[in-house]
Chain A
Amino acid sequence: MIAFAIRRILVGIVLLLAMVLVVFVLFFAAGNPARDVCGKYCTPQKLANITQVYGYDKPITYQFGQFVKGLAVGRDYPVDDKYREALQKSNPSLVIHCDAPCLGYSLRSAITVNDAIAKYAPVTISIAVYAFIIWIVFGVLFGVIAAVFKGKWLDRVIVGVTLVVYALPTFFVGTFLLQFIAIRWKLFPYPRYVSIADGGVFNWLIGLTLPAMTLALFYMAAYVRITRAFVLESLSEDYIRTARAKGLTERVVLFKHGLRAALTPLLSMAGLDFAALLAGAVITEAVFSYQGLGLLAVISNRNSDLPILIGLVIVAGAAVLAANIIVDILYAFVDPRVRLS
């Protein structure tokens, strides 16, 4: 079991490095970040200086090595050793240290990528967790109800509503909630992100509710249908017939024998969907103007802020990889066949 976990984590690290390489090479081809800060009166000499000071003149293999080293032990900017030492003496506030795992430095925003992500991540994580809880609880609940009442009116209503909700685009739901529920009808306070430190847990939750609902509705609709299908499949298995033949009550048959097998595959899907959300819910964050990673990605993209984009892609990839590993390990706990083979 522990060997299994260690093996999965090692493989995960290798995959992550491979991903970093691909991302790095891809973005390296996109151009020289030094050009972005060279300014209006950029001379070839000035550009060459900046390029050299930030190490963009070095071969890609060397730059990649430094980047990976930065991930492991951290980095100091500017990267040119002589220049940095001179700067340290003349103007130490311009030397920037980036802690491990250092994802790079944005010349354009004059901020380390780590700081940029740390600033925007809390909003995204808050919305993602909130939405995840809503969609799992209600998605599974309605999915199970629909399966148990298969073919009855309750099932038809749930499936019908689900289909409509699933078809609604996120920007429509978000705009509707914002414009009507919050602004026109004033059924809910205007959504505004308040961190726990600033406003306490209650205000934090209130601020998150509408964006989280926007995000959760779509996933919830999908999970109702998936859960329903899994439960129906499980209830048609032979071991359910065995459970009934033993004389167990319908409640035990459904909850102990039926749901256990139905909800296990849901675990892996939920883990991956949640991880994907951690990369930022671009549309939802944009509709509500929340300062999350999705918005950061949009802004950085608009500004061609390559270092931040590289950092975001790596964080998103790492989140998906981590979720994969966690799901695999959890799976081994729930499914004895995985555990022992």
Chain B
Amino acid sequence: MSRAFLSVENLSVNFPTSDGIVRATDDLSYTLERGQTLGIVGESGSGKSVSSSAILGLHRNTNAHVSGAIWFGGTNLLALSDDEMRERRGKEVAMIFQDPLSALHPYYRVGDQISEAHLAHNRVSKRAARARTIEMLARVGIPQPDRRVDDYPHQFSGGMRQRVMIAMALINDPVLLIADEPTTALDVTVQAQILDLLQDLQKEFDTALIMITHDLGVIAEIADDVLVMYAGRAVEYGSARALLSQPAMPYTWGLIQSIPDVSRSVDLPLRPIPGNPPSLLNQPAGCPFYARCDYSKFVADNRCATELPELAPASYGHLKRCHLKEELSVYDTQLAVVETGAN
């Protein structure tokens, strides 16, 4: 069986600490093809950034313990030497970070920071790298790129800075791009522009894109597949169409309910998910979402508290990690609000 373009298999990332092992990502598997977009959704600390950083090998400088396999272009990235990994970083796999101000070095001109990425992987002159940089700045929609190339990061607005980050990430035509909450720190209108830009560039270069976000609106707009993560584990995974139209587990329902929507009736209050995710240090034996789940009472024998559900096919063509019976896990906003509002 031939593997997908990117195939993450049983990926676990653990951080040993003096208090015990933090399981930031546990037994995560997914695949992604070229030109496709995978949206990874989840709260802060759900392991979405940690698992994606593992693809770039960014945990190699830390004390993290990474296991499993990340198959990419026929090789297991986790089995590569540090130098082999470094050669792929920024060239075949690139990453865009959440806060473009802190992700750019304050003391260096943006042009130098971008061309540095080009020079690290190509035997070209500085002049050629600079020309390529200006070309990329123009491509990501920065006006007067030949002038702005010599500016410093603090002279750019938030949206422009994120465009700089995108130019930096795409300068070597990577085949896989990881965007870690690229629009979280930006204004709503700028968010839309950046998303459009990412989609355009993805089409143009036929890049595989992993979009990490906690914004289901972003997912609905650009993702082909969706992976919902909770407490370091995948809890729901499938095509965006199936998953968003028929979400099959209470955590995803909660995420959807907590989206503000102007067309929603004012009588239906915005419902945040109560409580906090469990500590990744000593995870409970049962379902990680059990403590916050309003639906565990519909599951017999208190299985939610004692038994971790498998990531198993739901009837809607995607995978879910939930004990809830099929006939009960029909999502209905009205029903959900009425039911849980009574508690």
Contacts and interface: CB of A to CB of B under 8 A. Distances in A.
B90 A246 contact: yes
B65 to A, nearest CB: 16
Interface stretch (A39-47, A50-58, A236-244, A269-277): A236-244
B88 A247 contact: yes
Nearest to A241: B58
5 contacts: A239-B105, A241-B97, A245-B56, A245-B89, A247-B121
A244 B102 CA distance: 14
Interface string A122-160: 000000000000000000000000000000000000000
Contact of B90 (A237, A245, A261): A245
A243 B105 contact: yes
A245 B107 CA distance: 18
B24 interface: no
Interface string B135-152: 000000000000000001
A238 B90 contact: no
Contacts of A241: 58, 97, 103
B155 A340 contact: yes
A337 B109 CA distance: 11
Contacts of A243: 105
Interface string A241-271: 1111111111000000100110010000000
Given A247-B89, A247-B120, A335-B106, 6 more contacts: A238-B102, A239-B104, A244-B58, A246-B90, A248-B86, A261-B107
A242 to B, nearest CB: 5
- Mostly helix, strand, loop or mixed at chain A's interface? helix
A247 B104 CA distance: 15
Nearest to B56: A245
Given A335-B107, A336-B106, A249 B86 contact: yes
B105 A261 contact: yes
Contacts, number: 74
Interface in A319-341: 334-337, 340
A246 B103 contact: no
Nearest to A237: B102
A245 B99 contact: no
What are the 7 tightest A-B residue pairs by CB atom distance, in nearest-first order? A247-B90, A247-B89, A238-B102, A246-B90, A246-B117, A239-B105, A336-B152
Interface of B: 56, 58, 61, 86-91, 94-95, 97, 99, 102-109, 116-117, 120-121, 152, 154-155, 165, 168
Contacts of A250: 61
Interface in A39-82: none
Contact of B103 (A239, A337, A340): A239
Interface of A: 237-239, 241-250, 257, 260-261, 264, 334-337, 340
A339 to B, nearest CB: 9
Contact of A246 (B89, B99, B108): B89
A340 B105 contact: no
A334 B120 contact: no
Nearest to B99: A238
Contacts of B155: 340
B152 A337 contact: yes
A264 B107 contact: yes
A273 B174 CA distance: 49
Given A246-B168, A247-B121, A337 B106 contact: yes
Given A337-B152, A340-B152, A238 B91 contact: no
Contact of B104 (A242, A244, A249): A242
A239 B89 CA distance: 15
A226 B224 CA distance: 50
Contacts of A249: 86
A165 B109 CA distance: 41
B120 A257 contact: no
A247 B106 contact: no
A213 B110 CA distance: 43
B171 to A, nearest CB: 9
Nearest to B104: A239
Contacts of A335: 106-107
Contacts of B121: 247
Contacts of A336: 106-107, 109, 152, 154
A1 to B, nearest CB: 15
Contact of A248 (B104, B108, B116): B116
A249 B119 CA distance: 12
A243 B106 CA distance: 12
Contact of A245 (B94, B109, B154): B94
B61 A246 contact: no
A242 B105 contact: yes
A334 B61 contact: no
Given A261-B107, A337-B154, A340-B155, A247 B87 contact: yes
Contact of B120 (A242, A248, A261): A248
B121 to A, nearest CB: 6
Contacts of A261: 105-107
B105 A257 contact: yes
A246 B105 contact: no
Contact of B107 (A238, A242, A334): A334
Contacts of B87: 247
A242 B152 contact: no
A246 B95 CA distance: 8
Contacts of B104: 239, 242
B265 to A, nearest CB: 41
Given A247-B91, A247-B121, A337-B152, A242 B106 contact: no
